[in-house]
């Protein structure tokens, strides 16, 4: 059927797009322009990197205290804890590098950005956790079968202070990881938490060794801490691997994306909606149904409105691919 300028369908379409342009025009006048989403990613990466640098400084101080206390206090659990803190420094440096790379904007070779660097760094940290657990466990078993001195009592208050510092910092960096949507920061928080667990296990082992005059209790505590570290390492490795393998975003996030897209003027319905995490942001692939009688340009305008709405949302979306389909 040929459309004329005075046909009812053409008039209806004209009125619809007049209202559509007015609505989008009002929004652009009322709302301030949204910041560049890549700049927002860089800001989140820099905030995360600042916390990681503080964690490195904390681990260096605690490693020095643990190693000196373990050597002077005759407790291998504390020495093992100090070695783990040094490995934490190395893993944190890897996370720091991952943040720096992930914050870089897209380029010709990486059109979707460099976000994968962040979970790759987290994946490497998971490998280091397994290596640390295996090394400490081997040394603990060796000391269990070898007689040695009972630890000194003053290592107990030292460990209590270390546990308190680690728990506090773990909570702080964990909250920052949730706010930034960062897998690497979440893993850093778990890393500090497992460090607190190993210190707590060392505290219990040293207390039992002193109270019962059983020197091996210290080493059994170190062995138990290794089991805890390895168990948490499995969870950390699985989370990072999921991000690398483009695991689907949580259902709640997909529903939020759908709600925003359906709120755009001209969108009749939605079909597929795929959301995946890429570093500190999300990538969206969505199919939008519109009036089948619209022109290509009019459908393109609606697709752009959907993309702009998602990029300007607080959902940390950095790129959107919108497919237009005719409504049934």
In order, the DSSP letters of 9-26 are HHHHHHHHHHHHHHHHHH
pLDDT tier at 15 (50, 70, 90 boundaries)?
A: low
User: Token digits for 210?
Assistant: 């002193």
pLDDT at 35 over 50: no
The per-residue pLDDT for range 63-88, each reduced to its tens digit, is 888 888 888 887 776 777 777 777 77
pLDDT at position 264 is 92
Answer for the pair 321, 284: CB distance below 8 angstroms, yes or no.
yes
Percentage of the chain exceeding pLDDT 70: 83
The per-residue pLDDT for range 96-141, each reduced to its tens digit, is 787 777 777 777 887 777 777 777 877 887 787 787 778 778 877 8
pLDDT at 40 over 80: no
Work out the average pLDDT over 307-319: 87
The domain defined by 37-244 carries CATH number 1.20.1250.20: no
Work out the average pLDDT over 23-38: 45
The residue ranking higher by pLDDT, 266 or 142, is 266
Q: Using CA atoms, how far apart are residues 33 and 324, in angstroms rounded to an integer?
A: 25
Work out the average pLDDT over 291-318: 89
The residue ranking higher by pLDDT, 100 or 287, is 287
Task: Work out the burial of residue 259: count CB atoms within 10 Å of its CB; fewer than 13 is exposed, 13-18 middle, 19 or more buried.
Answer: exposed
* Average pLDDT for the chain: 78
pLDDT at 3 over 70: no
Q: Using CA atoms, how far apart are residues 249 and 308, in angstroms rounded to an integer?
A: 20
Specify the residue for token string 């910092």: 169
H-state helical runs in the chain: 8-30, 37-72, 76-102, 117-144, 155-180, 183-212, 216-244, 251-262, 296-311
Count of residues in the chain: 328
Q: In the chain, what are the domain boundaries?
A: 37-244, 249-326
Global confidence as pTM: 0.58
Query: Of 33-47, 99-113, 205-219, 288-302, which range is least confident?
Result: 33-47
Q: Which fold has domain 249-326?
A: Alpha-Beta Plaits (3.30.70)
The residue ranking higher by pLDDT, 308 or 72, is 308
pLDDT at 33 over 60: no
The residue ranking higher by pLDDT, 1 or 308, is 308
The residue ranking higher by pLDDT, 42 or 263, is 263
pLDDT at position 179 is 73
pLDDT at 5 over 80: no
The per-residue pLDDT for range 150-198, each reduced to its tens digit, is 777 888 888 888 889 888 888 888 887 777 667 677 777 877 787 787 7
Q: Which helix (H) or strand (E) holds 286?
A: strand 281-290
pLDDT tier at 13 (50, 70, 90 boundaries)?
A: low
């Amino acid at each position: 059927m040929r459309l004329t300028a005075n046909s009812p369908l053409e008039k209806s379409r004209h009125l619809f797009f007049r209202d559509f342009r007015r609505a989008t025009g009002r929004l652009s006048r009322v709302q301030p322009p949204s910041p560049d989403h890549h700049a927002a990613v860089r800001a989140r990466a820099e905030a995360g990197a600042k916390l990681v640098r503080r964690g490195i400084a904390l681990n260096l101080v605690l490693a020095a205290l643990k190693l000196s206390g373990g050597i002077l206090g005759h407790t291998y659990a504390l020495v093992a804890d100090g070695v783990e803190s040094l490995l934490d420094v190395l893993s944190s440096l890897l996370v720091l590098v991952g943040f720096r790379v992930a914050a870089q904007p897209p380029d010709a070779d990486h059109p979707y950005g460099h976000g994968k660097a962040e979970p790759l760094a987290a994946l490497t940290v998971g490998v280091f956790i397994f290596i640390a657990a295996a090394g400490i466990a081997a040394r603990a078993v060796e000391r269990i079968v070898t007689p040695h001195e009972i630890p000194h009592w003053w290592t107990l208050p030292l460990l209590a202070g270390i546990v308190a510092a680690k728990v506090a910092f773990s909570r702080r960096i964990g909250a920052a990881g949730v706010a930034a949507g960062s897998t690497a920061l979440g893993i850093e928080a778990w890393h500090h938490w497992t460090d607190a667990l190993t210190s707590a296990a060392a505290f219990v082992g040293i207390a039992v060794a002193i109270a019962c005059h059983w020197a091996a209790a210290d080493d059994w505590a170190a062995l138990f801490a290794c089991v805890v570290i390895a168990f948490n390492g499995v969870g950390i490795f699985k989370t990072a691997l999921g991000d690398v393998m483009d695991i689907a975003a949580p259902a709640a996030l997909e529903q939020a994306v759908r709600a925003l897209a359906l709120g755009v003027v001209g969108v009749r319905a939605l079909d597929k909606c795929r959301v995946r995490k890429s570093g500190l942001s999300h990538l969206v692939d969505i199919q939008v149904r519109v009036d089948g009688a619209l022109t290509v340009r009019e459908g393109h305008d609606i697709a752009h409105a959907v993309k702009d709405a998602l990029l300007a949302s607080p959902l940390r979306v950095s790129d959107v691919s919108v497919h237009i389909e005719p409504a049934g």
